[in-house]
């Protein structure tokens, strides 16, 4: 059975990008954080979202989300959302804490009303009795910074929860971003789907609309739905809702999580989840610094293929004068990501201050640099320069 998929705008769809005069900066001086409360069946997936009661510009954040490991088995994916789709970051689970370090160079993280700054998809343990409840809270040690570099004051910090209940959940949307072309389909996986399930898709406020004629949803099984279209459409900055005949419904904010087929040899990188901005680069440049062997500092690169075809990538190390020192090639399969320390890409090769890493793909890829300290256990995203395509 096939059903029409309707694309709508969330909230006030007449707002243009950046036109938030009635919502931005008004009532509160600081940040009012809120974690959503969700339901999911035992063994299923819940998507927890962190939002601001009132939009505020955030240029950088170090956020710690606490949860109960007796209820949460795994963190499956993390999404970061900004007004002009530039927010990037890294998420790392450390026991019962998810650490998210993210940046938005123009301070647009947190400026979209009614849209989360982060989404976290968590898998619950099997065998949990109905009614089991666990809190998700933003730790007091979390930090948020204004565009001028001063810290935001957190005036309110409302915890959320996940309760084991119901039979419907959305596990994943694949692909979780990018443009869907005619003949391709969006795969929605989860539990509790029926032949009569309806699907709605919403845009973030102020985002450009894409042609959405003849969009259809095909029921595959209780755990899978397919969405197809006769015209290209984008999944960036959108959320989907699956609605069942009994009026149960689930919402899922899309983010493109990658598949890492060759994890880094370094524990801090192998356990990290890159949060890519939903824009791809035809070429990109990352700045590099000289690092002493015993400092604990490191730098790396994350790449992701957002397309349905394999992409060849050339990685070239250049000295401060732009002269090539070394190069290597990699191939990224559809949805595949590469997350490596620079020392893994060019082993034993010293890097001088002012050097750069040049990324030259055969088709646009998502790119992010990484700067971190192994001793302190911290990592920060580094924004590449180069022509980006939304």
Distance CA 389, CA 280 (A): 5
Q: What is the DSSP letter of 36?
A: -
Q: What is the CATH number of the domain that holds 29?
A: 2.60.40.680
261 occurs within a structural domain: no
Task: Write down the residue that tokens 């082993």 correspond to.
Answer: 347
Q: What is the pTM of this model?
A: 0.85
Count of structural domains, the chain: 3
Out of 2-6, 62-66, 231-235, 335-339, the most confident range is 62-66
Confidence of residue 278 (pLDDT cuts 50, 70, 90): confident
Residue 20 pLDDT: 40
**Mean pLDDT throughout 294-298?**
87
Task: Examine the pLDDT at 137 and tell me if it is beyond 70.
Answer: yes
Task: Examine the pLDDT at 299 and tell me if it is beyond 90.
Answer: yes
3-state secondary structure (DSSP) of residue 124: strand
The more confidently predicted of residues 237 and 165 is 165
**Mean pLDDT throughout 99-115?**
90
Residue 309: domain span: 267-389
Same-domain check for residues 158 and 203: no
Confidence of residue 201 (pLDDT cuts 50, 70, 90): confident
Same-domain check for residues 180 and 316: no
Same-domain check for residues 215 and 277: no
Mean pLDDT score of the chain: 87
260 occurs within a structural domain: no
Distance CA 210, CA 207 (A): 10
Domain boundary among 164, 181, 209: 164
pLDDT (tens digit per residue) in 144-200: 999 999 999 999 999 999 999 999 999 999 888 777 888 888 999 999 999 999 888
pLDDT (tens digit per residue) in 6-32: 444 443 222 333 444 344 456 778 999
DSSP 147-172: TTSPBPPEEEEE-EEEEE--S-EEEE
The more confidently predicted of residues 94 and 312 is 312
pLDDT (tens digit per residue) in 302-311: 999 988 789 9
Confidence of residue 69 (pLDDT cuts 50, 70, 90): very high
259 occurs within a structural domain: no
Residue 206 pLDDT: 58
Domain boundary among 203, 231, 253: 253
Task: Examine the pLDDT at 356 and tell me if it is beyond 80.
Answer: yes
Backbone angle region of 59, left / alpha / beta, with phi > 0 → left and psi within -120 to 50 → alpha: alpha
Residue 210 pLDDT: 45
What percentage of residues in the chain have a pLDDT greater than 90? Answer: 60
Q: Of the candidates 46, 320, 17, 335, which has an alpha carbon nearest to the alpha carbon of residue 164? A: 46
């Amino acid at each position: 059975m096939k059903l029409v998929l309707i694309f709508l705008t969330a909230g006030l769809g007449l707002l243009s990008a950046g036109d938030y005069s009635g919502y931005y900066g008004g009532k509160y001086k600081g940040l009012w954080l809120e974690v959503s409360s969700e339901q999911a069946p035992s063994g299923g997936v819940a998507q927890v979202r962190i939002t601001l009661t009132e939009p505020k510009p955030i240029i950088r954040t170090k956020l710690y989300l606490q949860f109960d490991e007796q209820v949460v088995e795994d963190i499956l994916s993390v999404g970061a959302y900004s007004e002009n789709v530039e927010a990037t970051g890294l998420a790392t689970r450390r026991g019962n804490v998810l650490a998210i370090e993210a940046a938005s160079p123009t301070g647009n993280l947190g400026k979209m009303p009614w849209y989360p700054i982060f989404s976290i998809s968590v898998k619950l343990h099997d065998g949990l009795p109905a009614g089991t409840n666990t809190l998700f809270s933003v730790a007091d040690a979390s930090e948020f910074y204004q565009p001028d570099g001063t810290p935001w004051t957190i005036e309110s910090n409302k915890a959320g929860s996940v309760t084991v209940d119901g039979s419907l959940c959305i596990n994943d949307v694949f692909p979780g971003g990018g443009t869907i072309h005619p003949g391709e389909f969006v795969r929605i996986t989860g539990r509790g789907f029926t032949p009569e399930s309806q699907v709605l898709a919403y845009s973030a406020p102020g985002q450009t609309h894409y042609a959405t004629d003849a969009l259809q949803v095909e029921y595959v099984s209780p755990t899978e739905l397919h969405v197809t279209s006769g015209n290209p459409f984008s999944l960036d900055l959108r959320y989907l809702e699956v609605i069942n005949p009994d009026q149960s419904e689930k919402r899922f904010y899309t983010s493109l999580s990658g598949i890492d087929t060759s994890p880094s040899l370094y524990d801090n990188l192998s356990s990290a989840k890159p949060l890519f901005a939903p824009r791809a680069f035809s070429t990109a440049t990352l700045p590099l610094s000289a690092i002493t062997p015993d400092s604990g500092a490191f730098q790396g690169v994350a790449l992701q293929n957002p397309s349905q075809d394999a992409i060849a990538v050339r990685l070239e190390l250049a000295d401060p004068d732009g002269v090539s020192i070394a190069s290597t090639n990699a191939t990224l399969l559809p949805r595949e990501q590469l997350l490596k320390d620079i020392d893994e890409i060019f082993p034993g090769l010293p890097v001088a201050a002012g050097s750069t890493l040049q990324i030259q793909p055969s088709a646009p890829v998502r790119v992010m640099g990484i700067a971190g300290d192994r001793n302190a256990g911290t990592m920060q995203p580094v924004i590449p320069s180069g022509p980006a395509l939304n």
